[in-house]
Structure formats: structure tokens, C-alpha cells
Amino acid sequence: MIDKCITLLQTHGVSSLTKLRKIHAFSIRHGVSISDAEFGKHLIFYLVSLPSPPPISYAHKVFSKIEKPINVFIWNTLIRGYAECSLNYSVSAVSLYRQMRVSGFVEPDTHTYPFLLKAVAKMADVRLGETIHSVVIRNGFGSLIFVQNSLLHLYGNCGDVMSAYKVFDEMSVKDLVAWNSVINGFAENGKPNEALALYTEMDSKGIKPDGFTIVSLLSACAKIGALTLGKRVHVYMIKAGLTRNLHSNNVLLDFYARCGRVEEAKTLFDEMVEKNSVSWTSLIVGLAVNGFGKEAIELFTNMESKEGLLPCEITFVGILYACSHCGMVKEGFEYFRRMREEYKIEPRIEHFGCMVDLLARAGQVKKAYEYIMKMPMQPNVVIWRTLLGACTIHGDSDLAELARMQILQLEPNHSGDYVLLSNMYASEQRWSDVQKIRKQMLSDGVRKVPGHSLVEVGNRVHEFLIGDKSHPQSDEIYAKLKEMTDRLRLEGYMPQISNVYVDVEEEEKENALVYHSEKIAIAFMLISTPERSPIRVVKNLRVCADCHSAIKLVSKVYNREIVVRDRSRFHHFKDGSCSCLDYW
DNA sequence: AAATGCAACG
């Protein structure tokens, strides 16, 4: 009878939880004891093998009924189950491993450590990882490639790329998984150049990349807006024959959108043979952050009419983002309602954040505040910062002060909030308040994040800081800046120096002309690139109002399309106007 | 027996 039950598990077990429950009930009816290790082993195995997340408490119940001592396979399977569940369960995987050690009956084997390390990687606990690493070596498993690969993943996930690289360097045999893991480690930790260098090395050894390799490299480039690097990866992707790989295409789409190349993203989307809801969502979000809200919504309408495509919560974040950044307040509320009622998606704090932004950005800051007060969850620092940002733009200093007090409690020492408030006071010519904020910044030991702008010419990236004079062509750049300002004045440009003024250090204020980094970068591009060619700037902070109005005019006067990637979004400047329609 | 993408605000 037990053999029959096991056969049943083997033939139907992989399909569904309902089937497994039925087989379990069947076995009880026919007198097969759950404490029988052979049957219990199979049942746990199939439970844990169900698509994620596995029914772990059910599996654990079966586990606890199995007669002692429990063999190592069963221990491993349950550890694996916990490792594949959400983060909260990773701790249980570790404590299960400890129980196994103290039970004294079995020793961990070669399978135990990859499962355990997976759980520790999820926890991103580098100290625990190091401890287990030394245990692994002591037990003689340190030279097994799958254990080493697990270690690579662990260190990468903990942000300790140097330890990952050390493990990698000492591996005598490196398979594609090892290369992917270490490349992903660098890519995920903001080191796309290193990731790409490793890729080049891998390529020179004749190892072919797969979809994972491409995804790691491209998402790293997307994060930092490295268009030239990413384009190189696109070429590798073509060379490796991965142009039909869905994941790679999705991330390529995201990459182009995140580099401001909306046309390329759209073309790619149209040409993709296989598309899933992630592809649609990526383009919707891409259009939204690039300021093409109307197009994002059009695409969403299109998506709704397609069979078998369901928008998810992220799709709605994109849609609500599109509405808030285009001033479509009424539409935003309507989509929020439909998300809950038609799609049964419970709004998360991100969605409420969009709604606060929707009201606040449209100037209804008081209503936004009331909305925050009525939210079913505790507002986080992002929500308050949204309100603060809108208050500084719409000049509600009382509410701005209130929002800042909330932020100060949740996250002290964040320079951006001081700067926002100080800029608002400056725009109202409340210089004593500006001084007060600046003094407070000094006494609180808060240092402003210096603004910088990156531009690419050919294969080189040039970086400019505020008032930067370190570039070898500095004289030419400043001559161009002077000419630029003169020509803009003729077009009616009035410099609003207040934003710049509070940004610079006391000594520098004596120099009459201090330019924000984006202006310097644009002047540099005007002299370094052919006429009419588009200019891309990646900035680490938000563009100030003065630079924004200046760049609008530059796009007209110099007949250049200028794309500025902000800290949070894109501005496409063309013929004297911006895709954000000054709605930011 | 390692592993993938899209996410509000700043």
C-alpha cells in the first residue's frame, strides 16, 4: 500500500496542493502512517517542490510526525522549503539547520549548504554567511562548485562584492553560473564597469552568455543611465543570439526607457514577438517617467483590451504616476477606484503615495494633507517628502514646516529636506529663514549631497560639479556659458539666482557667476558635439527651476533636443518646451 | 545543488 501511495505522489505530486492533500487523505484511509519515513519523505519533497511559495507549515507538520531519527534528505528538503519561502521564513531555515546539528544523528551533506546559504543570502546577513562559510570549509565542502556558487550569490546579495570576487578568484573551475553570479554581484552593487570588465574576460575565454548574464549587465546600466555601456551589452545580446529571450528583451526595454530613449523602447516593444504583462508594465512606467503620461494611459487602455494580460500593482503605480505627473487629478482617482473594484488590487503605501502626489503636485496641498491623515496606514518618510516637495513649489510654508518636522522624526540628517525648505525661503526672499536652515544644517552635521551632471561624448563620460572649472576645456566652456546666457536673455530669460545662491559655499558666493552642473554640462556639449545632435544629461539631483527654464530656451535657441535625467524622472526639452509641461 | 526584469518620494 505504501508503494502505491508513493507512486501516486510521483505521478500526480508535482501538479497541485489539492492533489497532494487528496493523496495524503487516501493514504490515511488505507492505513499508511505519516510517521513512516519513506512516505513522509516523498510527501514533504512534493510539498516543497510546489510552485513558490511552498505550503511550508503543512510540510513542517508532516516533518514533525515522522519517526526519529530523521534522515538527512528530509532535513535538507525542509530547509530548502524554508529557504524558498519569503524572507520571514529564512530564519527558520537557519534554526532548522541548527536543530539538525544538535540532534546529533545526522551530519549535513553536500546538499544542505546550498539550501542553507540561499536562506542566509535572502537575509543578507554577511556575518552569519561568513560563519557558515568557515563551517563549510572546515567540513571539506569548500571546493564543491555548487557550494562555491551559493557563496558567490550570498556575498553578492549582502553587498560584499569583494568577498564574492575572492571566492570566485579561488575557484579552480568556473562555470557559467559562477560567472553570472559574480557579474550579477557587481551589477547589483552599482559597479557596472566592473561587471562589464568581467564579462569581457568571460567572453575572451569563449564562454557564451545566457539570459541571466544579459539581464544583470543591462539592469546595472539602466540603474545608472549608462547608455553607451548598455548599447554595448545590446550588441553582445545580439551576438549571443538572445534577441528572442523574453527576460532580456524586457530589461532592454526598461534600459532604453530609463536612458530617455523612448523611441527605441517603443520600437523594441513593437518588435518583440513574445510579450508578457511585464513588457507592457515596463513600457507604461517608462513612458510615465519620461513625462509621456497620455501615451502611458493610451498603452494601458490597449493592454486592458488584450486577452490574458492582467495589470498588476506595479502597472497601477505607473498609471497613477503618469496621472500625478501630468496633472490628471480626476483620472488618477478614477484609476485608483478601478484598481480596487475591478482588479481587486489592494492599494499599498506606494499607491497612496501617488495619490498624495496627485493632489499635492496639482497645488491642492491642504487636501493632500487631509488625504495623508485619512490613509489606512502610517505615512512613511516618502509620503511626507512628497508633501514637502509640493509645498515648496506651491509656497505653503506652514505645511512645509509641518511635513519637515515629520520627516525629521522618521529620518534625521537627510540633506535634501533642508535644501528644499531653504530654497523655498529663498524664493520668498526670507533670507533670515534661509540662514536659520543653513545654520541648522551645520549644527546638525548634515552635508549637502553635491550635485553633479554626467554627459557622454563618444565613449567617454564627463562629469561636472557646481561651478566646476576643473575640465581641461574650462575656458571654452565658460565662454560658451556667457554667450548662452546672453542669447537666452534676448529670448526673455530672467535668471532666478536664489536657488543657485543658497547652494554654493560662502567663499564661492563672491564669484558673481556660479553655474549649476547641468548648465556647464550642456555648454560643454554644445561645443563638443555636432549641431542639431541631441544632448543627454544624467543628473544626481533634481533640476532647479532656473536651470529648467534656461534649458527650455537653449533647446529652442540652439535647436537641440535635450534630455535630462533627473533624480526621479526625465525632462525632454524641445523647441522651447519640456515634456513635463512645467508640471513637476 | 546559485539566479533574472518593471515600483511612489527625494
The answer to whether A560 and A526 have CB atoms below 8 angstroms apart is yes
Q: What are the distances in angstroms from CA A114 to CA A117, A129, A155, A287, A582?
A: 5, 12, 13, 41, 52
Looking at residues A230-236, what average pLDDT do you find?
90
What pLDDT is attached to residue A415?
67
Query: How long is the CA A237 to C1' B1 vector, in angstroms?
Result: 28
Pick out residues 334-353 of chain A having their CB under 7 A from any atom of nucleic acid strand B. Answer: 348-350, 353
Query: How long is the CA A107 to C1' B1 vector, in angstroms?
Result: 17
Q: Closest nt to A117 (CA→C1')?
A: B2
Q: Is residue A383 part of a domain?
A: yes
- Domain shared by A549 and A469, yes or no: yes
- Domain shared by A476 and A568, yes or no: yes
What pLDDT is attached to residue A502?
54
Domain boundary among A405, A429, A448: A448
Query: Each residue of A105-133: pLDDT tens digit?
Result: 888 999 999 999 999 999 888 899 999 99
Query: How long is the CA A365 to C1' B2 vector, in angstroms?
Result: 48
According to the per-residue pLDDT averaged within each range, which of A346-355, A437-446, A501-510 is highest? A346-355
A570, pLDDT greater than 90: no
Q: Write phi, then psi, for A352 (nearest 5 degrees).
A: -65, -35
A411, pLDDT greater than 80: no
Identity (one letter) of the amino acid at A352?
F
User: Is the distance between the Cβ of A229 and the closest atom of strand B smaller than 7 Å?
Assistant: no
Bases along strand B below 7 A from a protein CB: 1-10
- Domain shared by A495 and A556, yes or no: yes
Q: By percentage, how much of chain A surpasses pLDDT 90?
A: 47
Looking at residues A518-539, what average pLDDT do you find?
92
CA-based angle A166:A171:A172, to the nearest 5?
Answer: 145
- Domain shared by A511 and A563, yes or no: yes
The answer to whether A1 and A30 have CB atoms below 8 angstroms apart is yes
Looking at residues A155-167, what average pLDDT do you find?
91
Q: Is residue A529 part of a domain?
A: yes
Q: How many CB atoms lie within 10 A of CB A365?
A: 24
The answer to whether A248 and A242 have CB atoms below 8 angstroms apart is yes
Q: Closest nt to A254 (CA→C1')?
A: B6
The answer to whether A300 and A319 have CB atoms below 8 angstroms apart is yes
Domain boundary among A426, A448, A470: A448
Query: Each residue of A308-350: pLDDT tens digit?
Result: 889 999 999 999 999 998 889 999 999 999 999 999 999 999 9
The answer to whether A526 and A457 have CB atoms below 8 angstroms apart is no
The answer to whether A285 and A317 have CB atoms below 8 angstroms apart is yes
What pLDDT is attached to residue A513?
57
- Domain shared by A500 and A418, yes or no: no
The answer to whether A235 and A209 have CB atoms below 8 angstroms apart is no
User: Is the distance between the Cβ of A357 and the closest atom of strand B smaller than 7 Å?
Assistant: yes
User: Is the distance between the Cβ of A181 and the closest atom of strand B smaller than 7 Å?
Assistant: yes
Give the total number of structural domains in chain A: 2
What pLDDT is attached to residue A438?
75
- Domain shared by A411 and A467, yes or no: no
User: Is the distance between the Cβ of A285 and the closest atom of strand B smaller than 7 Å?
Assistant: yes
| Confidence label for A94 from pLDDT (cuts 50, 70 and 90) | very high
Average pLDDT, chain A: 87
Among protein residues, the one whose C-alpha sits closest to the C1' atom of B7 is A314
User: Is the distance between the Cβ of A448 and the closest atom of strand B smaller than 7 Å?
Assistant: no
User: Is the distance between the Cβ of A13 and the closest atom of strand B smaller than 7 Å?
Assistant: no
Query: How long is the CA A484 to C1' B1 vector, in angstroms?
Result: 62
Q: Is residue A137 part of a domain?
A: no
How many residues are there in chain A? 584
Query: How long is the CA A546 to C1' B10 vector, in angstroms?
Result: 19
DSSP, collapsed to helix, strand or coil, labels residue A296 as helix
CA proximity to A514, closest of A475, A478, A542? A478
Query: How long is the CA A20 to C1' B8 vector, in angstroms?
Result: 41
Radius of gyration (C-alpha) of chain A in whole angstroms? 28
Torsion angle of alpha carbons A216, A222, A228, A230, nearest 10°? 30
Give the Cα separation of A389 and A424 in Å (integer). Answer: 10
Cβ neighbours of residue A404 closer than 8 Å, sequence gap 6 or more: A384, A388, A417, A421
Q: Which of A380-394, A424-438, A457-471, A473-487 has the lowest mean pLDDT?
A: A424-438
The answer to whether A139 and A108 have CB atoms below 8 angstroms apart is yes
Q: Match 477606484 to its residue by C-alpha cell.
A: A337
A435, pLDDT greater than 80: no
Q: Closest nt to A353 (CA→C1')?
A: B8
Read out DSSP for A369-411? HHHHHH-SS---HHHHHHHHHHHHHHT-HHHHHHHHHHHHHHS
Query: Each residue of A28-71: pLDDT tens digit?
Result: 898 888 788 888 999 999 999 887 678 899 999 999 998 888 88
Query: How long is the CA A391 to C1' B5 vector, in angstroms?
Result: 35
Identity (one letter) of the amino acid at A309?
L
A372, pLDDT greater than 90: yes
- Domain shared by A517 and A444, yes or no: no
The answer to whether A547 and A519 have CB atoms below 8 angstroms apart is yes
Q: Is residue A379 part of a domain?
A: yes
Identity (one letter) of the amino acid at A345?
I
A509, pLDDT greater than 50: no
Q: Is residue A512 part of a domain?
A: yes
DSSP A67: P
- Domain shared by A436 and A475, yes or no: no
Looking at residues A551-571, what average pLDDT do you find?
90
- Domain shared by A406 and A463, yes or no: no
What pLDDT is attached to residue A440?
73
Query: How long is the CA A376 to C1' B2 vector, in angstroms?
Result: 40
Cell numbers placing A30 = 488505507
User: Is the distance between the Cβ of A176 and the closest atom of strand B smaller than 7 Å?
Assistant: yes
Q: Is residue A36 part of a domain?
A: no
Read out DSSP for A152-216? HHHHHHTT-HHHHHHHHHH-SS--HHHHHHHHHHHHHTT-HHHHHHHHHHHHHTTPPP-HHHHHH
| Confidence label for A104 from pLDDT (cuts 50, 70 and 90) | confident
- Domain shared by A431 and A521, yes or no: no
Q: Match 562629469 to its residue by C-alpha cell.
A: A463
A232, pLDDT greater than 60: yes
Q: Closest nt to A348 (CA→C1')?
A: B8
User: Is the distance between the Cβ of A485 and the closest atom of strand B smaller than 7 Å?
Assistant: no
Query: How long is the CA A180 to C1' B3 vector, in angstroms?
Result: 8
Domain of A414, in residue numbers: 348-448
Domain boundary among A413, A429, A448: A448
- Helix (H) or strand (E) holding A454, with range, is strand A452-457
Among protein residues, the one whose C-alpha sits closest to the C1' atom of B9 is A382
What pLDDT is attached to residue A246?
93
DSSP, collapsed to helix, strand or coil, labels residue A91 as helix
Query: How long is the CA A102 to C1' B1 vector, in angstroms?
Result: 24
Q: How many CB atoms lie within 10 A of CB A196?
A: 22
Q: Is residue A127 part of a domain?
A: no
Pick out residues 127-166 of chain A having their CB under 7 A from any atom of nucleic acid strand B. Answer: 146, 149-150, 153
Query: How long is the CA A389 to C1' B9 vector, in angstroms?
Result: 9
| Confidence label for A510 from pLDDT (cuts 50, 70 and 90) | very low
Between A371 and A439, the more confident residue is A371
Cell numbers placing A415 = 540633506
Q: Give the 3-state DSSP-derived string for A262-324, with helices as H, strands as E and coil as C.
A: HHHHHHHHHHCCCCCHHHHHHHHHHHHHCCCHHHHHHHHHHHHCCCCCCCCHHHHHHHHHHHH
Among protein residues, the one whose C-alpha sits closest to the C1' atom of B6 is A282
Give the Cα separation of A534 and A531 in Å (integer). Answer: 9
Q: Match 515522522 to its residue by C-alpha cell.
A: A66
DSSP, collapsed to helix, strand or coil, labels residue A451 as coil
- Domain shared by A417 and A480, yes or no: no
Query: How long is the CA A262 to C1' B6 vector, in angstroms?
Result: 15
Q: Is residue A172 part of a domain?
A: no
Cell numbers placing A26 = 487516501
Instruction: Give the CATH number for residue A372.
Output: 1.25.40
Question: Which string of b and e fits A7-46 if b means at least 16 CB within 10 Å?
Answer: ebbeeebeeeeebbeebbeebeeeebebebbebbbbbbbb
- Domain shared by A367 and A470, yes or no: no
